[in-house]
Chains A and B, each alone.
Chain A
């Protein structure tokens, strides 16, 4: 009898070209996304004077450095050069580019699923750690470094050692107003920022089945913040409904045939995981981060940790340094923390559902602080405008901008000023992530909207309507 296999095992097995005696496998890559930041990799390819092996499986997206205002002009010559270099590489090597003026442009991890390029069972890579996002559709998707990007460009393959398997089962029903972002932060604070290191993560349980595709994308996106090699959700009816009719997905009979194959990807009943963890969605409160790692998350009604109350001196030192950087007083209630601005954007939380959740809080209200809303893709932007969400954001006093990585990483100049505190829907609250000496608090889009209204970290449930 065949051995019971996990979802990950099945996708892994279908991509192994050879396995060496030492255990490293050469894997076939189905989708390779590159962006302006991939210039180091293209230089390596040029040095070897080799072509891109599979231009039809390679897709370029301008997102990391693109301006979010006054497009298509690019004021900064250095950034203009980066975007041009990507266009040049796409033209020269003959791969499809979602460039600055393309109506389908957006953040790579939003565009891939949205276009139907990301499909169940595919192996997807990109020179960006949040490639884990695509696993929400049942793909094996992970971020790689520049040398690996170059290797994929030249060979369409990658050497990997099979990671261990870990399953996180989340049962129960999320309380009203809470979202996948709260689930993600709960996972990370439970297992730690390196808690899933070396593991392929599978999410299961009724709270996951109940999540929309947008929510699953958010959850898998943040899994890299728990150190996971990749994260996956088994394809189901939600997945198929999401993919049906997407521009680059198979159509008609081919789609139905594919769905039949994808249905078989779910973990077999007796499949064994190296680690299993269970969480209850029903007991989660809205979470915010207070420190400089995504694991530094606490329920909104909690207090900033006190280093003096910490027995382990190394941990106390870590807490103190984090508080110093964040400009927070030990023991103060999180709800008393005043913010200077808000940001709604990034591949974590700028899909249509995220914008709707934020707009629901902001509707008919004014923001007490300035803020920026950058949709996850140009298509999301157009959709939001059809729904009138842009008006809600504008009338609240927030800026409505074009799509790109924007203030998630600040490479395009959308920065949080030194010393400023930002309530953000992004994924990393690292020191300096949103700008030198910027202070980032991660939370869900609805929580960011609530912070915008009051000017401080706020439990969105106090503002939710009926």
Chain B
């Protein structure tokens, strides 16, 4: 897994709340192999019309070309558990999403792929969104060590679960951590099946 320490990048403000994973990647693209790259499916139906023409979505504005961060309103990534939503963000080049709240499964999926879900207060989200709209260059810096965001000449704190922060900083993979507990897992299994024999279906 790629490590996340600090991001100094262009950001795209999305003034949208409840950006669900069906928006992030419509279901019809999910049977495609990842090797094709999922970036072009990101927010597809908000960005492109029936003939593939641009609908003028913020992500496709010249000013946001090459953005590596997205700032949105509450409940980002709500909905389906599809990790493909994170693949679409990642393959497009997004490394951090800033919002006042995230869908739980999305946030977990994000971290497992090295993408930072940075939670800010609703007021700070509004301030960052506003700052990006008016700034000459919509740039921001996200520092995971200090848990701060610099944008539009102001500094904002963000929160993230302490474990997830460490995982991102170190690029840790869950499986490596789990393997260290192989013996405990075997012992637990034996005990579990003895105490609750119905766990193993007949």
Contacts and interface: CB of A to CB of B under 8 A. Distances in A.
Contact of B198 (A24, A193, A249): A249
B134 to A, nearest CB: 16
B199 A57 contact: yes
A154 interface: yes
Interface stretch (A120-128, A203-211, A351-359, A367-375): A120-128
A343 to B, nearest CB: 15
B27 A129 contact: no
B15 A317 contact: yes
B32 to A, nearest CB: 9
Interface string B157-181: 0000111001000000011011101
A251 to B, nearest CB: 7
A254 B23 CA distance: 47
B78 interface: yes
Contact of A254 (B15, B84, B188, B198): B198
Contacts of A129: 79-81, 105
Contact of A37 (B30, B45, B177): B30
B36 interface: no
Interface string A430-452: 11110011000000000000000
Contacts of B83: 40, 145-147
A298 interface: no
A258 B178 contact: no
Contact of B174 (A146, A159, A292): A159
Nearest to A24: B163
Contacts of B175: 48, 151, 154-155
A306 interface: no
Given A147-B113, A431-B23, A432-B22, A128 B80 contact: yes
B112 A145 contact: yes
Given A22-B166, A151-B178, A227 B75 contact: yes
Interface string B132-165: 0000000000000000000000000000011100
Contacts of B184: 17-18, 26
B31 A78 contact: yes
Contacts of B108: 144-145, 148
Contact of A431 (B17, B22, B113, B201): B22
Contact of A144 (B28, B84, B103, B105): B105
A97 to B, nearest CB: 14
A65 B31 contact: yes
B185 A156 contact: yes
Interface stretch (B3-11, B58-66, B189-197): B189-197
B116 to A, nearest CB: 16
B161 A161 contact: yes
Contacts of B163: 20, 22-24, 161
B34 A40 contact: yes
B95 interface: no
Q: Summarize B's interface: helix, strand, loop or mixed.
A: helix
B199 A122 contact: yes
A56 B15 CA distance: 47
A53 to B, nearest CB: 9
B18 A193 contact: yes
A121 B196 CA distance: 9
B86 A145 contact: yes
A282 to B, nearest CB: 30
A198 B161 CA distance: 11
Given A147-B113, A292-B18, A411-B27, A193 B199 contact: no
Contacts of B18: 193, 292-293
Contacts of B112: 145, 147-148
B60 to A, nearest CB: 17
Contacts of A409: 27, 80
Contacts of A17: 181, 184-185, 188
Highest count of chain B CB atoms <10 Å: which of A56, A121, A128, A157 = A157
B68 interface: no
B31 A318 contact: no
B26 A436 contact: yes
Interface of B: 15-18, 20, 22-23, 26-28, 30-31, 34, 45-46, 50, 73-75, 78-84, 86-87, 101, 103-105, 108-109, 112-113, 126, 161-163, 166, 174-175, 177-179, 181, 184-185, 188-189, 192, 195-202
10 contacts: A17-B181, A17-B184, A145-B82, A146-B82, A251-B202, A411-B28, A418-B50, A428-B20, A430-B79, A431-B45
